[in-house]
Chain A
């Protein structure tokens, strides 16, 4: 008979240099039918109490009436749907184009192009392409990023009629991260920011030409914005 895990037996174990505490699983003694029955009823009552607790408190309900409460919808803090680069107040991201996330991505959903910057003379991100259509939302990219550049955006309404629209470019500009720009002197910084504005990136990089030569709103034609490789899908 046990009441809580605190009463269970604890044993100190030594493995070489390692010291560990082994907890012996509590065993219900079954030699007395009356105490066993009493224990059974007690545990059943515990379960009934828990369900009744939630039944009597409608505030604990977690269901959200989605289409109706679209304005006031509350998404969980750690909900993963859209990968996003973090931007500070000046609109600068932290991505240095080191490609650690690209090498760690288990299904090659991240493709990064990085070049040597003309002003900063350092490696900087040129295009950060994320393929939502092949992403499994495993969170590895966010975990491995040494510069804390990535985060999840809970906007989950990403329904599109063409899955090529799910191949997006995360960086809004091609340029060095906020840390590098912060170290520059004023003149250099201004020219860098102007260069950033020129190298503005559209969201949809995607497989550039829609199938059969048709055009899609929001999808730029090949060569219009980026003539880089567009997320791995071969063009028709």
Chain B
């Protein structure tokens, strides 16, 4: 029965009719139902189908992001970017992917072969695990965890392992330096991210992503929580830039000093895994920001203004989610192609002397705001 609901819901998503249904039907719940009914084929079907779907989605998303990054970077720098393969170079990422897959997969002579081999896969695993909890639309979600926020914060730490192992296993001084920088940077900025998540939990009183979204039906948290939310968003955005190794915090792979840093010694498919993971991580971070600050797949609603709300409902939830996420991704690209790279001491200073104290003050502010219910539509 639930599978029928799922299929019908997929059909109805484009009309946005399901935005009001509080009961979330996820793929995990469907699989669980079939498993309890001892229907092995349906269980397997609903395990394999999302896997294929996720694989396709991740690949297509990464290729799209690579294309967009190159094109946007070019236009920021008065260039055209890829123009040859297909209309305005639209097939360029596919050509690049084919080239990368055909390249020789080199392992340096003195490298730690096991660590060097598994590092890219760990990077990919961390990314895919993060993808699991993201709610794209009311019922397009693999699993709606009760501790979704905590889970995402934990899973994003797996990427650090991949970077460290890649740098350590490569037997290359630049890789090792990049990995050490990455470890220092990612562990430092993880603190800020977690502190911001605490602020969100203070507001919502829940770690469940779907519930966090439903609470923003009156207004998105970024507006609802006024100053506190804006500061929290600023810290989260800056810290996630650092987490993603993007300029101005791309010290782990600083081309100028380290020659690509931790992935210097990688080529072919395993290099493309790092590459893919990097772009999907960017999407993940932006999706998480959308979920906790910009109402996830919810349209822009203001409680009481029914006319505005019904106009906003015209766009389907999935489109709202993608619109918000891609806006944030564009913001990240804009920043990447504007600012120069920081020095390692400036990076640490920014985190430990600016973002962390600001985050701690923000927690206190958030506690006051929440306890006196000073936010909008309390």
By a beta-carbon cutoff of 8 Å, the part of chain A in contact with chain B is 37, 44, 47-48, 50-52, 54-55, 58, 60-63, 65
Contacts and interface: CB of A to CB of B under 8 A. Distances in A.
Contacts of B72: 55
Contact of A61 (B80, B334, B335, B338): B80
14 contacts: A48-B335, A51-B76, A51-B338, A54-B76, A54-B77, A55-B72, A55-B76, A58-B75, A61-B75, A61-B78, A61-B79, A61-B80, A65-B80, A65-B83
A63 B80 contact: yes
A55 B80 contact: no
Nearest to B330: A55
B75 A48 contact: no
Contacts of A62: 78-79
B339 interface: yes
Given A51-B334, A52-B334, A55-B72, A44 B78 contact: no
Contacts of A47: 338-339
Interface in B310-344: 334-335, 337-339
B141 to A, nearest CB: 34
Given A51-B334, A55-B72, 6 more contacts: A44-B339, A51-B338, A54-B75, A58-B75, A61-B75, A62-B79
B76 A60 contact: no
A55 B334 CA distance: 9
CB-based closest 9 A-B pairs: A63-B80, A51-B338, A51-B76, A47-B338, A63-B79, A55-B76, A60-B78, A55-B75, A62-B78
A44 B337 CA distance: 12
Contacts of B83: 65
A63 B78 CA distance: 7
A30 to B, nearest CB: 12
Nearest to B248: A44
B233 to A, nearest CB: 15
A48 B79 CA distance: 17
Contacts of B338: 47-48, 50-51
Interface in B23-77: 72, 74-77
A52 B79 CA distance: 14
Contacts of A54: 75-78
Interface string B75-99: 1111110010000000000000000
Nearest to B80: A63
Contacts of B76: 51, 54-55
A54 B334 CA distance: 11
B312 to A, nearest CB: 26
B32 to A, nearest CB: 47
A63 B75 CA distance: 10
B334 A48 contact: yes
A58 B75 CA distance: 7
Contacts of A58: 75
Contact of A51 (B79, B80, B337): B337
A141 to B, nearest CB: 32
Contacts of A52: 334
Contacts of A51: 76, 334, 337-338
A65 B88 CA distance: 12
Interface string B342-378: 0000000000001000000000000000000000000
